[in-house]
């Protein structure tokens, strides 16, 4: 590209143009096209290809464009030109006021404090969700203790095939402790599909917060009732401690994750129901974004839970070790969420 | 280059919004139509499906190559590991696809790009990563979870009529939700504080009337019109709307349209339309009409169309 000759040609055309507004355009279009090239590269995610002097020129070019647009609107009737300027101005505006952090920097800020602060900021909702889960577990346990038929209506048929009321201790014990390598592979697959399933329960509990949080609470109660019912089956055969150990190794992480997800849903529902002095939309936006941060934490926790379930539970066949691992991980989550990054709280 | 579209005139006025930048410039944005949103979604689903299909074919190919090569059979643990990978990929694919693209500098998935729309913050401020995550998590509940539920129970034969209808109504309510609010917000947009707006790329068209045609005859348009000179009365019949229609005709460069418009203008101002020189005539008329309207504009007198005074 021969810049000098192009420039001369443009000058000729500018001199020849009949209209003042066309001369205006021809004098400035070089800057606009230069900005458009920069915007193009940035949109493609290749800021490295922009030369240093172009980067330095960017603020000036952006302001030139904005003032060109204002002038063109007041002095030109060239609709094509104005459409171009508006389109380019909007693209540049979105870039200038777009997400500024890189993905890496966002991760650092997020896991280094923002996540913990988001969890702490929905404290009351955590208490509500926790109460729902405790209530659910107790109700499930008591219902089945009262009448074993409740078990079949609480627990889906394919979920616990051998783990039903009246199963022998031997059968139940075999589901808790691995005996051969054969069942191990099947269990790994099962664990992962369960991870995926639990992730969906968590997302469901969050998203259902829309309906004033009521479905989120019901979902928590129902899930824990299922657990309470299962608990009763094992307690009947004197395997309560072993069952809790089997569950704890990944369950502490997983149930904590579901608790957080439910609390995030309740948080949205609560701000929808009681927005206070401010508009529904503004309150919901804040609640939604706070909830979304918590949900990213939830998904990370569910991934950890899936790994623990898939590998650690099969490898560790000792109830004491299971308790130790499960609860030290729970302690880690509690410290991370409730004690970490307190000083920088904004 | 010659066919810069004029989007401002195609936008449904109900969807037009004004965004004021920190520089104080008011910019016209327009909310994406429900049709464009649906189109983008279908394209995205198609792409995800295609990617997954490719992934599985690759998987099968590797498995086939392995069995053909006659290496020792794998133990069950490895097979289990592969199945685990597949399950995780299935779960991540649709979540990651939307997040990855909407977190990028264009804030639009391939589907959204292809129909020319993007995600933006509703208040004109920064679009945060949290907002993108929130709007996409809610998509799960609006669409993918009920659909997957219906498909999986349907395959197993356990889908009751009631559950089928309930699922359909559920998806239907969420799909129609954008039609019932001014800003075409999906539930996810509502929660995240985002909206989806048009972002067509408009290229800079050439100067409409360069006078090239007129200059062939030895006279430049800068000396006002070459062979065609119009009086003040002849120019005062039209306003800005007609000028921009004429601009479109000149940009499109369609000979038949030019003949029609030329005849219409000649009829209006009482000239006899000649043949074969329509382009030069229209360029001259366009230039002089625009010069007149822009001159008046500088004095604060604007004229919307031929029916208004000015």
pLDDT value at B218 more than 50: no
The span from the CA of A227 to the CA of A247, in Å, is 10
First to last CA, chain B: 33
Token pair for A261: 């997800």
Distance of CA B210 to the CA centre of its chain: 30
Nearest to A222 by CA among A246, A195, A258, A248: A258
- Where residue B215 falls among pLDDT bands split at 50, 70, 90? very low
- Does residue A130 carry a pLDDT above 90? yes
Which of A7-11, B143-147, B294-298 has the weakest average pLDDT? A7-11
β partners of residue B121 = B194
pLDDT band at A331 (very low <50, low <70, confident <90, very high): very high
Q: In chain B, which among 34-73 make CB contacts under 8 A with chain A?
A: none
Instruction: Using alpha carbons, select from B248, B16, B209, B293 the residue that is nearest to residue A79.
Output: B248
Q: Which of B5, B21, B140 sits opposite A207 (nearest CB)?
A: B140
Distance of alpha carbon A293 from alpha carbon A108, whole angstroms: 14
Q: Are the C-beta atoms of B17 and B121 separated by less than 8 Å? A: no
Tokens found for residue B70: 């006659």
Residue of B nearest to A20 (CA): B291
Q: What is the pTM of this model?
A: 0.71
pLDDT on residue A17: 62
- Cα A332 from Cα A337, distance rounded (Å): 9
Angle between the B278-298 and B240-252 helix axes, to the nearest 10 degrees? 140
Q: Do the chains contact at A281 and B88, CB–CB below 8 Å? A: no
Cβ B204–A84 below 8 Å, yes or no?
yes
Do A291 and A265 meet the contact criterion of CB atoms below 8 Å apart? Answer: yes
Q: B192-206 pLDDT, tens per residue?
A: 888 898 887 888 877
Q: Which of residues 196-255 of B touch A (CB under 8 A)?
A: 199-205, 207-211, 220-222, 224, 240, 243-244, 247-248, 251
CB–CB contact B208 A75 (8 Å): no
CA-CA-CA-CA torsion for A122, A128, A131, A133, nearest 10 degrees?
-80
The pLDDT tens digits for B130-152 are 888 888 878 877 887 777 767 76
Q: Is A203 on the interface with B (CB under 8 A)?
A: yes
pLDDT(A104) > 50: yes
pLDDT digits (tens, 9 = 90+) for A191-245: 555 555 676 678 778 877 877 888 888 888 888 888 888 888 888 877 888 888 8
Taking the CA of residue A341 and the nearest CA in chain B, the distance in Å comes to 19
Q: Which of B25, B88, B221 is nearest residue A192 as measured by Cβ atoms?
A: B88
Nearest CA among B171, B195, B211, B25 for reference residue A17 = B211
Using a CB-CB cut-off of 8 Å, the residues of chain B touching A84 are 4, 202-205
Mean pLDDT of A308-330: 79
* CB < 8 Å from B in window 261-290 of A: 268, 281, 284-285, 287-290
Q: What average pLDDT does chain B have?
A: 78
Strand-pair category, B16-20 with B117-121: unpaired
Question: Is A208 an interface residue toward B (CB < 8 Å)?
Answer: yes
Instruction: Tell me how close the Cα of A31 comes to any Cα of chain B, in angstroms.
Output: 12
The crossing angle, in degrees rounded to 10, of helices B278-298 and B255-269 is 60
A13 has pLDDT over 60? no
User: How far, rounded to the nearest angstrom, does the alpha carbon of residue A284 sit from its chain's CA centroid?
Assistant: 16
Confidence band, pLDDT 50/70/90 cuts, at residue B43: very high
Of B22, B105, B220, the CB nearest to A43: B105
Cβ partners under 8 Å of residue A174, min gap 6: none
Q: Do A207 and B105 touch (CB under 8 A)?
A: no
**Mutant choice from B31, B93, B120, B141 vs A, greatest count of A C-beta within 10 A:** B141
Query: Nearest-CA residue of chain B relative to A208?
Result: B141
Chain B from 150 to 179: CB within 8 A of any A CB? none
pLDDT of residue B138: 81
The better pLDDT of the pair A129, B96 is held by A129
User: Which residues 108-167 on chain A approach chain B with CB closer than 8 angstroms?
Assistant: none
Interface test mutation site (partner B, options A30, A185, A288, max chain B beta carbons within 10 A): A288
- Distance from C-alpha of A204 to C-alpha of A258, rounded to nearest angstrom: 10
CB contact under 8 A, A69 and B297: no
């Amino acid at each position: 590209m021969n810049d000098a000759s192009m420039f001369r040609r443009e000058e000729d055309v500018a001199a020849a143009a009949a209209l003042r507004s066309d001369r205006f355009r021809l004098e400035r279009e070089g800057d606009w096209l230069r900005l458009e090239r920069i915007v193009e590269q940035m949109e493609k995610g290749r800021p490295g290809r922009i030369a240093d002097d172009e980067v330095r020129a960017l603020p000036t070019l952006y302001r030139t464009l904005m003032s060109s647009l204002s002038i063109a609107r007041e002095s030109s009737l060239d609709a094509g030109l104005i459409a171009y300027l508006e389109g380019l101005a909007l693209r540049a505006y979105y870039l200038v006021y777009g997400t500024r952090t890189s993905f890496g920097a966002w991760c650092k800020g997020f896991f280094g404090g923002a996540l913990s602060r988001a969890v702490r900021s929905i404290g009351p909702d955590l208490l509500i969700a926790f109460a729902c889960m405790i209530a659910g577990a107790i109700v499930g346990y008591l219902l089945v203790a009262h009448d074993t038929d409740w078990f079949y209506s609480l627990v889906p048929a394919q979920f616990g095939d051998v783990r039903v009321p009246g199963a022998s201790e031997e059968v139940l014990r075999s589901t808790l402790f691995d005996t051969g390598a054969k069942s191990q592979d099947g269990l790994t697959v099962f664990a992962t599909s369960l991870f995926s399933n639990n992730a969906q329960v968590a997302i469901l509990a969050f998203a259902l917060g829309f309906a004033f949080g009521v479905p989120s609470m019901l979902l928590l109660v129902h899930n824990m009732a299922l657990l309470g019912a299962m608990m009763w089956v094992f307690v009947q055969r004197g395997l309560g401690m072993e069952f809790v150990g089997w569950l704890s190794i990944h369950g502490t992480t997983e149930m904590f994750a579901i608790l957080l997800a439910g609390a995030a849903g309740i948080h949205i529902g609560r701000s929808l129901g009681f927005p206070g002095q401010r508009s529904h939309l503004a309150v919901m936006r804040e609640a939604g974004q706070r909830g979304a941060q918590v949900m990213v934490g939830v998904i990370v926790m569910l991934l950890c839970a899936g790994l623990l379930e898939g590998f650690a539970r099969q490898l560790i066949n000792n109830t004491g070790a299971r308790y130790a691992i499960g609860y030290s991980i729970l302690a880690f989550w509690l410290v991370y969420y409730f004690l970490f990054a307190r000083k920088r709280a904004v | 280059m010659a066919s810069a579209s004029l989007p401002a005139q195609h936008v449904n006025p109900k969807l037009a919004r004004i965004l004021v930048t920190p520089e104080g410039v008011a910019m016209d944005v327009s909310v994406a139509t429900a049709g464009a949103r649906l189109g983008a979604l279908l394209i995205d689903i198609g792409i995800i499906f295609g990617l997954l299909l490719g992934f599985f074919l690759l998987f099968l190919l590797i498995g086939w190559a392995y069995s053909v090569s006659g290496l020792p059979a794998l133990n069950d643990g490895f097979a289990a590991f592969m199945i685990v990978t597949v399950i995780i990929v299935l779960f991540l694919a649709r979540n990651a696809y939307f997040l990855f693209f909407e977190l990028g500098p264009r804030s639009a998935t391939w589907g959204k790009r292809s129909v020319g729309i993007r995600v933006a913050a509703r208040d004109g401020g920064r679009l945060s990563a949290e907002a993108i995550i929130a709007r996409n998590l809610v998509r799960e509940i609006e669409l993918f979870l009920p659909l997957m539920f219906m498909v999986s129970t349907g395959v197993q034969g356990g889908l009751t009529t009631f559950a089928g209808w309930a699922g359909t109504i559920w998806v239907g309510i969420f799909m129609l939700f954008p039609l019932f609010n001014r800003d075409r917000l999906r539930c996810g947009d509502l929660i995240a504080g985002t909206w989806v707006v048009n972002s067509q790329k408009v290229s800079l068209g050439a100067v409409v009337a360069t006078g090239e045609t007129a200059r062939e005859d030895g006279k430049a348009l800068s000396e006002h019109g070459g062979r065609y000179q119009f009086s003040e009365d002849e120019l005062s019949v039209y306003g800005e709307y007609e000028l921009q229609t004429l601009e479109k005709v000149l940009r499109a460069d369609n000979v038949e349209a030019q003949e029609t418009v030329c005849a219409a203008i000649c009829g209006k101002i009482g000239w006899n339309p000649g043949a074969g020189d329509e382009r030069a005539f229209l360029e001259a008329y366009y230039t002089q009409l625009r010069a007149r309207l822009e001159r008046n504009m500088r004095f604060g007198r604007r004229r919307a169309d031929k029916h208004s005074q000015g």
